[in-house]
Amino acid sequence: MSSWLHIMILIPFIFAIVVPYIYKQLTPRIHTGWFVLFIPLVIFAYLLTYIPNISEGNTFTETVPWIPAYDINFITYMDGLSLILGLLISGIGTLVILYSIFYLSKHREALNNFYVYLLIFMGAMLGLVFSDNIFVLYVFWETTSISSFLLIAYWYEREKSRYGAQKSMLITIFGGLAMLAGFILLSMITDTYSIREMISNSTDISSHSLFIPGMILILIGAFTKSAQFPFSIWLPDAMEAPTPISAYLHSATMVKAGIYLVARMTPIFGGAAEWFWLVTGVGLITLLYGSVNAVRQTDLKALLAYSTISQLGLIMSLLGLGSASFYYGVGTDSSVYAMAIFAAIFHLVNHSTFKGCLFMVVGIIDHETGTRDIRRLGGLMHLMPISFTLTVIGSFAMAGLPPFNGFLSKEMFFTAVLNVSTMSVFNAETFGLAIPIIAWIASVFTFVYSMILVFKTFRGKNKPEKLGRVVHEAPIGMLLSPLILGSLVIIIFFFPNVLSHYLLKPAMHAVVPMLADAGELKIKVSAWHGWNTELFMTFGVIVLGTLLYIYLKKWYRLYHLYPDDFTLNSMYNLSLEKMESLSKFITERYMTGFIRDYLVYIFSFIILVVGGAIWLFDGFSFDPSNDAPANFFEVGLMTAMVITAITVLFSKTRLTSIVAVGALGFLVSFFFVLFRAPDLALTQLVVETVTTALFLLCFYHLPQLRKEKSRIQFKVVNAIISIGVGVVVTLIALSANGNRLFESISSFYENSYELAGAKNIVNSILVDFRGIDTMLEILVLCIAGLGVYTLIKIRLTGRDENEEAK
């Protein structure tokens, strides 16, 4: 049976259909956002009701059969991890929509598109975190890629938006496909499609030969989605999207999908050295890369984008560090490492609050001053006091300073890296000290860019001449959402254990079930944890970070030493260019524009492959013993068909050949009549009528057929190919008739009346037994129809413009 959880996932999709109508009716009187707002709000409220149950360690599963024949069912599964993500998606979704109501003008913007994409995205995200079947998860995963493509390209008339959207789509879909392959491998190993079953069978899969390839493929998916190095390059370009989108997709939800996947898969892969090093290593590199690059950015949103990359790297590396606890099994050692998982989930929540807040404030600055360029901003502190306060809260949380929630999770991060440096498994002692050092350096840079964000924007001299407008504080509606997030940042700092008890612990329970079951998880977050190494590391970060910030001008030039041509971005652009020119080169070789050439290719291919197969495998067999004798009508029809076919060959005008081809089709339908297949005969008749009419319509516009003069070799080649194709097809027909490898399907459908209530077997096959084929066929038909329509219409308008230009 379907459940409320399923309906919750479907609601955004259903409402996405309604939004354009609301928009049409009410624009420009009421902002469409007000109607959309209640959807995430209701979902959020609904998810809140699960908290008491989930915090007691319960989980919920509901199944809706989807393709039970292939064991693919829409199973929703709720535990602490999915609940936390669900709350973030709906909660931040609510705030983002509230913010967007004030951010996007109801007069100028195409709000219908915006909210439709946003709702599709929201539904896909919810589906992703709540589905248990890996293929259902994959479907939602790619839906988020596609909807985020649409959202990034929201201002599609800008070239940069299109570029960014394409980039994000190419990279995330590439990762998604790799992940699909990984899922298939994983399901081959574990013999199930359900994540929960995979986890429960995970004990002996690490010795399987497909274990490592499957792991790597799945990680590619997770890394591309979560913008891990080197796939991170799409995230800065995705900043071309409107700010509400950046806040939503690129801080709170979509980029967290990869984190979610890694956390979800940790019980399956955790404990393997490859998993540990890949996830930790990539996470640490991303952390360092993002934080170092964030400092050099001059665009506020780009700075935030790189900081997101770096923070995602931090969470990812924590998940990797925590996976070591699976190596130890149940015990004190493992619960020490499991704290890293806790820190990861904790930081995930914290990051969503402060980064969401920061993105919204940057959007406000952009909205009010008209620029996001740090070099033009400055001295806004007195003009925008609330925004300033919010930026301070968000940035200081990001830098890991008290009294903000980022401090708590950052201290736990330091604890985790310090623990690992003394670890004796996975050859950790070789790299032991490197991990805390990388983490510490990255934290210094994090501190520096957080300070840049606050002080370069709000302190210093106001430069009104560079802004060209009078700056004042944003309307309260726009400030509301960041205010809520900003206050959460502080509330979480003072009451971390409430959050920890109700949400983080159950989430951790989902990632490290064996520890939780053994009662080994005793977590208490406290702001003051004594004079320990972590605290001194933080002092070091503050001191060195402040020095680096003050002397920023002195060492900033170091960034210019790095050659521009060697960046990942230019490599991406280059590979795209090369791919285009290569495919153009290849395409130009065979796309000659003559149908005759294409037919030559197709037919030669058929002769080679099919004829070759018949010859190689000795596939030809001719057995006329079962054949019924041909009667008078059949012989007559056949003769007529041969004559019409020859007429096509030798006809001088196009009209004659069209009519002859049509006649050939009608004659085939007579055969169907003879063999008592009235359905086929009818279909054939109607199709033949319509296509002949269509042909005539098309050919009306073509010039007269000219007698073609071609060279003799040409004719010889054509003749060989056409005779070859004829021979091959005849051989296939004969041997297909001679070999009955499979049972006839007709007996299978004899009970069509009992099963489908239909006496017409053909139709019951079409609409009932193989309904999905038909459904997809008509879909393809529709797409083809729209394709023809748009091709012709676009060409028409293009021509009109040219004519006007003359």
Partner 1 sequence: MKKPNDVIIRSVTKVAVVIIFTFAINLFISGHHFPGGGFIGGLAFASGLILMFLTFDIETVRTYIPVDFKVMAAVGVLIAVLTGVGGMVLGAPFLSQSFGYFELPIFGKTELATAVIFDVGVALAVIGTSITIIMSIGDDR
Cβ-based burial of 57 (10 A; exposed 0-12, middle 13-18, buried ≥19): middle
Minimum CB distance to partner 1 smaller for 710 or for 790: 790
Interface residue with partner 1 among 591, 635, 638, 786 (CB under 8 A) is 786
Is 48 a binder of partner 1 (CB under 8 A)?
no
> To the nearest whole angstrom, how small is the minimum distance from the Cβ of residue 267 to partner 1?
29
> To the nearest whole angstrom, how small is the minimum distance from the Cβ of residue 758 to partner 1?
5
Minimum CB distance to partner 1 smaller for 344 or for 756: 756
Please give the distance of CA 25 from its chain centroid, rounded to a whole number. 32
Interface residue with partner 1 among 536, 581, 778, 798 (CB under 8 A) is 778
Is the dihedral angle over the CA atoms 313, 319, 321, 323 positive or is it negative? negative
Is 540 a binder of partner 1 (CB under 8 A)?
no
Is 772 a binder of partner 1 (CB under 8 A)?
yes
Interface residue with partner 1 among 18, 48, 67, 591 (CB under 8 A) is 67
Interface residue with partner 1 among 464, 678, 726, 798 (CB under 8 A) is 678
Is 785 a binder of partner 1 (CB under 8 A)?
yes
Minimum CB distance to partner 1 smaller for 582 or for 778: 778
513-545 CB burial, b ≥16 within 10 A, e <16: bebbeeebbebebeeeeeeeebeebbeebbebb
* Structure tokens, 371: 């620029």
Dist CA 112 CA 671 (whole Å): 54
Q: Which stretch binds partner 1 (CB under 8 A): 127-135, 137-145, 599-607, 788-796?
A: 788-796
Q: Which stretch binds partner 1 (CB under 8 A): 208-216, 333-341, 503-511, 757-765?
A: 757-765
Interface residue with partner 1 among 682, 729, 732, 734 (CB under 8 A) is 682
- Residues forming beta bridges with residue 78, ordered by sequence position: 60
Is the dihedral angle over the CA atoms 696, 702, 704, 706 positive or is it negative? negative
Binding characters for partner 1, 288-327, by CB under 8 A (x = yes): ----------------------------------------
Minimum CB distance to partner 1 smaller for 14 or for 646: 14
Interface residue with partner 1 among 674, 694, 720, 733 (CB under 8 A) is 694
Minimum CB distance to partner 1 smaller for 5 or for 262: 5
Q: What HEC string does 349-402 produce?
A: HHHHHHHHHHHHHHHHHHHHHCCCECCCCCCCCCCCHHHHHHHHHHHHHHHCCC
Interface residue with partner 1 among 25, 583, 639, 689 (CB under 8 A) is 689
Minimum CB distance to partner 1 smaller for 64 or for 173: 64
Q: Which stretch binds partner 1 (CB under 8 A): 373-381, 507-515, 659-667, 766-774?
A: 766-774
Contact 297, 316 (CB under 8 A): no
Q: What's the helix, strand, coil split of the chain in %, to 5?
A: 75, 0, 20
> Position 621: which residue type?
S
Tokens 């290849």, located at residue: 586
Pick from 311, 315, 320, 348: which is nearest to 492 by CA? 348
Is 608 a binder of partner 1 (CB under 8 A)?
no
Q: Which stretch binds partner 1 (CB under 8 A): 95-103, 310-318, 570-578, 780-788?
A: 780-788
Dist CA 727 CA 733 (whole Å): 10
Is 433 a binder of partner 1 (CB under 8 A)?
no
Alpha-helical (H) ranges within 464-594 are 464-467, 476-494, 496-499, 505-511, 513-517, 533-550, 552-555, 558-561, 568-590
Cis ω before 28 (30° cut-off from 0): yes
Is 173 a binder of partner 1 (CB under 8 A)?
no
Query: Half-sphere exposure of residue 99, counting CA atoms within 13 Å on the CB side?
Result: 31
Interface residue with partner 1 among 683, 722, 735, 737 (CB under 8 A) is 683
The 8 Å CB, 24+ separation contacts for 107-111 are 107/28, 111/23, 111/27, 111/31, 111/32, 111/33
Minimum CB distance to partner 1 smaller for 576 or for 767: 767
Minimum CB distance to partner 1 smaller for 616 or for 702: 702
Pick from 235, 109, 246: which is nearest to 164 by CA? 235
> To the nearest whole angstrom, how small is the minimum distance from the Cβ of residue 775 to partner 1?
5
Is 757 a binder of partner 1 (CB under 8 A)?
yes
Minimum CB distance to partner 1 smaller for 524 or for 701: 701
Q: Which stretch binds partner 1 (CB under 8 A): 62-70, 266-274, 423-431, 470-478?
A: 62-70
**Region at 334 (left for phi over 0; alpha for psi -120 to 50; beta for the rest):** alpha
Going by the DSSP 8-state scheme, the letter that residue 277 receives in this structure is H
Could you give the angle at which helices 134-152 and 211-225 cross, rounded to 10 degrees? 30
From residue 412, how far is each of 184, 336, 393, 408, 490 by CA, in Å? 36, 11, 20, 6, 17
Minimum CB distance to partner 1 smaller for 591 or for 775: 775
Interface residue with partner 1 among 26, 41, 51, 64 (CB under 8 A) is 64
> To the nearest whole angstrom, how small is the minimum distance from the Cβ of residue 793 to partner 1?
7
Going by the DSSP 8-state scheme, the letter that residue 63 receives in this structure is E
> To the nearest whole angstrom, how small is the minimum distance from the Cβ of residue 672 to partner 1?
10
Is 68 a binder of partner 1 (CB under 8 A)?
yes
Is 686 a binder of partner 1 (CB under 8 A)?
yes
> To the nearest whole angstrom, how small is the minimum distance from the Cβ of residue 86 to partner 1?
21
Minimum CB distance to partner 1 smaller for 10 or for 480: 10
Please give the distance of CA 471 from its chain centroid, rounded to a whole number. 39
Going by the DSSP 8-state scheme, the letter that residue 193 receives in this structure is S
The residue count for binding partner 1 (CB under 8 A) is 49
Going by the DSSP 8-state scheme, the letter that residue 565 receives in this structure is G
Interface residue with partner 1 among 28, 65, 385, 612 (CB under 8 A) is 65
Is 498 a binder of partner 1 (CB under 8 A)?
no
Minimum CB distance to partner 1 smaller for 194 or for 369: 194
Binding characters for partner 1, 70-89, by CB under 8 A (x = yes): ----x---------------
Is 386 a binder of partner 1 (CB under 8 A)?
no
> Position 693: which residue type?
A
Q: What residues between 697 and 716 interact with partner 1 by CB under 8 A?
A: 697-698, 701
Minimum CB distance to partner 1 smaller for 642 or for 784: 784
Is 762 a binder of partner 1 (CB under 8 A)?
yes
Is 105 a binder of partner 1 (CB under 8 A)?
no
DSSP string, 749-769: GTTHHHHHS-S-HHHHIIIII
The 8 Å CB, 24+ separation contacts for 263-266 are 263/81, 263/319, 263/341, 263/344, 263/345, 263/510, 263/511, 264/81, 264/195, 264/510, 264/511, 265/218, 265/222, 266/319, 266/322, 266/323, 266/326, 266/341, 266/511, 266/512
Going by the DSSP 8-state scheme, the letter that residue 83 receives in this structure is H
> Position 377: which residue type?
L
Q: Which stretch binds partner 1 (CB under 8 A): 65-73, 334-342, 531-539, 735-743?
A: 65-73
Q: Which stretch binds partner 1 (CB under 8 A): 40-48, 354-362, 655-663, 758-766?
A: 758-766
Interface residue with partner 1 among 18, 476, 591, 796 (CB under 8 A) is 796
Minimum CB distance to partner 1 smaller for 582 or for 784: 784
**Which residues form the interface with partner 1 (CB under 8 A)?**
1-2, 64-69, 74, 678-679, 682-683, 686-687, 689-690, 693-694, 697-698, 701, 756-760, 762-764, 766-768, 771-772, 774-775, 778-779, 781-782, 784-786, 788-789, 792-793, 796
